[in-house]
Amino acid sequence: MATTETNAPQLDADKNRPSQHIPSARRNGRWSGYRHLLWARILELKREPEVVFWVFVFPLLLAAGLGIAFRNKPADITSVVVIDGAGAQKALAMLQNSAARSTVRATILGRDAALKAFHFGKFDLAIESNPDGSYTYYYDPARPESVLSRAEIDSALQSAAGRKDALATSSQSSSEPGSRYIDFLIPGLLGMNLMNSGMWGVGFALVEMRQRKLLKRFVATPMRRSDFLLALTSSRLVLMVVEVGLLLGFGVLVFHMRVQGSILSVILLGSLGAVAFGGVGLLTACRAQKIETVSGLINVVMMPMWIFSGVFFSYQRFPAITMPFIKALPLTALNDALRATILEGASLGSQSGRLLVLAVWGGVSFILALRWFRWT
Amino acid sequence: MGTIETTVECTNLRKTYDGKVEAVRGLSLRIEAGECFGLLGPNGAGKTTTIEILEGLLAPTSGEVRIFGHTWDDNPRQLREWIGISLQETRLSEKLNVRETIELFASFYSEPRPAADILEELQLTEKSDAWVGKLSGGQKQRLAVATALVGNPRILFLDEPTTGLDPQSRRQLWDIVRTFQKKGGTVLLTTHYMDEAERLCDRLAIVDHGVIIAEGTPSDLIDRLGGHHMVEFQVNNSANDNENDSDSLDRWRSLPSVESVRRENSTVCLSVREPHLTIPALLDAVTNHGHQLEHLSTRQASLEDVFVKLTGRHLRED
């Protein structure tokens, strides 16, 4: 409290000379406003339960849900139904004694029940024994696993019945972490999350403050406008580190994902992505007066990227003619770069094209946003 | 230097919105150092547009603003250090607490006052850990003024500081303004409450349709009415129904010590210098004409009466 007492008389003396401002020892440094704005933003985010859910919990739930639904089934068990009849027990015994017994699950059912279950996809193949001792396979040529299972079961039955292989062969399995769906998915979710939270975290927050007249109140102080925009954008960087850590940590711990590239590269990529989408969010929100308006705008901007930028499935499925457009989207560049770094260990230097796409989107948006920005 | 005394000065301000609506139509004023100056006028008179032009938040269509002799183009950052502002309507971040909000605003100024002093002075110490969203209307308004005071300003701009507040909160805010003024600060406030203008302001400008229609100290303005007292009454006019209105108003105007007369619905309002001369004569006149007096009251004249005399309308039409 000593500062209070020494400062008070000096300030009073100063007041008596209103038109001759005499600079005294400044208590606040150049970056005091920026630091307080950043800290206030982080406090607000922390105290907003919706933010915690959408930024942190939701992506994890999505990763868990999709990771489980599309997990690679162990060695693709073939489900077969044997239609009850004279040769049914014999066929079952042959399958259970065959070399394929570990990958085949066979059941005996009545004819109607068996065919019905087969048609509903519960079984890949139905086997019926004929009076002459031969067998008929029911399979669906449109279902790859059905076609596969016919070949597999036929081979197993033939061997069990005494067929000798003419050629000696052996097989080795190769199923490494890195090539599974979850490995593809996690970097995509990371990119999508950086886009979502950048657009909402910057764009929505800004329009809300404009609507509350808080922006106007801020520019009525000596606050530097650039400090404000910088604080809003860099608050994204703090969140980004948490987002990246959570999603990657989740992938590594739960799905035994392997991160090939360096964590530093991932963080640098995340920073570039967060800042680029912060810029796009800023531009989206630079004029809007109402949160309803900006919500619509944000969705319009993000929609093409949800679909085309390869979050949940590879964008290579789209026609070749659309590739230049798709690759020019910032989320495509970010997702590709994240996948290359995380899954293949590619260096940042080898991805200069993608980094450039991100930097141009972020930079151009930021400049346009500053030019058009409405504070009141 | 003659300019040292003048803190805020504007000449011939005009503001036209969208090339059509003229919110301010040639407004000039000078505010001296250390005074509390009020812009009094009904809603839509152009008070907020005027104060926001003076605050440098709106650009005037034409006219000039000088604060301590500087224009807003000269050195906006330095001017912002010198002034504190409370806007008509600002909803501060609800998820920050009172102390965090004050410290955030303090961080923008080069020489702010300690947050603890401000909290104490604005009676917010008890609420310093409460979220802004949980404050009452009066507390929110005190916090808004706190964010204006924390930069240690020389001029305080308050736009409708007590609109919508309960009487106790209004008095608290008036005390805060007086304390600031006692320390040498200059205040410019807008209001549509005449009691606020009368009690708080050293000088006033009455604004209507974007121009100043009267300016002076509250007592000067009331003096211009001619009489300091108002006598208001209603008469039952049954004896002489076809007597026309202007005849009856002329009769009341001719009573002793009456300065002016106006009629509001069925009530006649007399502006009077010496009520003890007017009232006996009034009672006689009522009896002589066979009327019955239904209601009679006297009170001190107010700024409201000044406004009604100048415009024929009331400050608040609600």
Q: Could you give the ipTM of this predicted complex?
A: 0.88
Quick one: B54 and B186 in the same domain? yes
CA–CA separation, B74 and A152 (whole Å): 86
Residues of A in contact with B104 (CB under 8 A): 36-37, 40
Q: Which residues, at least 6 apart from B220, have a Cβ–Cβ distance to it below 8 Å?
A: none
What class has domain A78-160?
A: alpha beta
Quick one: B131 and B15 in the same domain? yes
In angstroms, what separates the C-alpha of A62 from chain B's closest C-alpha? 28
Task: Tell me if A19 and B105 make a contact (CB, 8 A cut-off).
Answer: no
> Lowest mean pLDDT: which of A324-328, B133-137, B220-224?
B220-224
Closest CA to A327 of A350, A341, A310, A339: A310
Q: Are B102 and B146 in contact (CB under 8 A)?
A: yes
Q: Could you give the maximum distance between any two Cα atoms of chain A, in Å?
A: 118
What is the SS3 assignment for B159? strand
How does pLDDT run across A251-278, given as a tens digit for each residue? Answer: 999 888 888 999 999 999 999 999 999 9
Residues forming a β-bridge with B36: B187
Most confident listed range (A329-338, A365-374, B69-78): A329-338
Tell whether the model's pLDDT for residue B243 goes beyond 60: no
Residue B311 lies in a domain: no
Cα angle A350-A354-A358, degrees, rounded to a multiple of 5: 140
Domain boundaries, chain A: 78-160, 178-372
Burial B120-152 (b: 16+ CB within 10 A, else e): ebbebeebbeebbeebeebbbbbbbbbbbbbbb
Closest CA to A248 of A331, A314, A339, A161: A339
Residues of B in contact with A374 (CB under 8 A): none
Q: Are A143 and A76 in contact (CB under 8 A)?
A: no
Residues of A in contact with B87 (CB under 8 A): 213, 216-217, 220
Q: Count Cβ atoms within 10 A of the Cβ of residue B288 and give its class: 0-12 exposed, 13-18 middle, 19 or more buried.
A: exposed
CA–CA separation, A118 and A310 (whole Å): 34
Residues of B in contact with A42 (CB under 8 A): none
Residue B308 lies in a domain: no
Mean pLDDT of B142-158: 95
Helix (H), strand (E) at residue A65: helix A58-69
pLDDT value of residue B164: 86
Quick one: B162 and B275 in the same domain? no
Quick one: B160 and B254 in the same domain? no
- Measure CB to CB from residue B93 to each of A24, A36, A44 and give the nearest one: A44
Task: Tell me if A40 and B96 make a contact (CB, 8 A cut-off).
Answer: yes
Quick one: B218 and B230 in the same domain? no
Task: Tell me if B4 and A32 make a contact (CB, 8 A cut-off).
Answer: no
How does pLDDT run across B283-315, given as a tens digit for each residue? Answer: 898 888 888 888 899 998 888 888 888 887 887
How is residue A131 written in tokens?
A: 């009076």
Quick one: B286 and B234 in the same domain? yes
In angstroms, what separates the C-alpha of A49 from chain B's closest C-alpha? 11
Q: What is the CATH number of the domain that holds B254?
A: 3.30.70.100
Residue B269 lies in a domain: yes
Quick one: B44 and B129 in the same domain? yes
The pLDDT confidence band at residue A287, using thresholds 50, 70 and 90, is very high
A141 interfaces chain B, CB cutoff of 8 Å: no
Number of domains observed in the structure of chain B: 2
Residue of A19, A41, A211, A215 to mutate, testing the B interface (most B Cβ within 10 Å of its Cβ): A19
pLDDT value of residue B184: 92
Report chain B's mean pLDDT, rounded to a whole number: 89
Residues of A in contact with B59 (CB under 8 A): none
Quick one: B158 and B281 in the same domain? no
Burial A298-328 (b: 16+ CB within 10 A, else e): beebbeebeebbbbbeebeeeeeeeeeebbe
Task: Tell me if B68 and A219 make a contact (CB, 8 A cut-off).
Answer: no
Q: What is the CATH number of the domain that holds B156?
A: 3.40.50.300
- Measure CB to CB from residue A18 to each of B33, B117, B147 and give the nearest one: B33
In angstroms, what separates the C-alpha of B168 from chain A's closest C-alpha? 26
A165 interfaces chain B, CB cutoff of 8 Å: no
Residues of B in contact with A44 (CB under 8 A): 93, 95-96
How does pLDDT run across A139-169, given as a tens digit for each residue? Answer: 988 888 888 889 888 888 888 888 888 888 8
How does pLDDT run across A107-143, given as a tens digit for each residue? Answer: 899 989 999 988 888 888 999 988 888 899 999 888 8
DSSP, res B24: E
Whole-angstrom CA distances from A191 to A95, A244, A247, A253, B163 are: 47, 9, 11, 20, 48
How does pLDDT run across A347-362, given as a tens digit for each residue? Answer: 999 999 999 999 999 9
Domain boundary among the residues B196, B222, B248 is at: B222
In angstroms, what separates the C-alpha of A3 from chain B's closest C-alpha? 9
| Residues composing chain A | 376
Whole-angstrom CA distances from B71 to B16, B54, B81 are: 20, 10, 14
Q: Does A53 or B104 have the greater pLDDT score? A: B104
Quick one: B103 and B121 in the same domain? yes
Closest CA to B296 of B260, B267, B261: B267
Q: Count Cβ atoms within 10 A of the Cβ of residue A43 and give its class: 0-12 exposed, 13-18 middle, 19 or more buried.
A: middle
How does pLDDT run across B253-267, given as a tens digit for each residue? Answer: 888 889 888 888 888
- Measure CB to CB from residue A44 to each of B90, B96, B185 and give the nearest one: B96
Residue range of the domain that includes B75:
2-222
Quick one: B26 and B95 in the same domain? yes
Q: Residue B1: closest CA among chain A residues belongs to which residue?
A: A19
pLDDT value of residue A2: 38
What is the SS3 assignment for B180? helix
Q: Which amino acid is at B201?
A: C
Domain boundary among the residues B169, B193, B222 is at: B222
CA–CA separation, B158 and B109 (whole Å): 19
pLDDT value of residue A76: 66
How does pLDDT run across A186-216, given as a tens digit for each residue? Answer: 999 999 999 998 898 899 999 999 999 999 9
- Measure CB to CB from residue A214 to each of B7, B91, B107 and give the nearest one: B91
Mean pLDDT of A313-317: 89
Quick one: B62 and B166 in the same domain? yes
The pLDDT confidence band at residue A104, using thresholds 50, 70 and 90, is confident
Residue B309 lies in a domain: no
Q: Which amino acid is at A337?
A: A
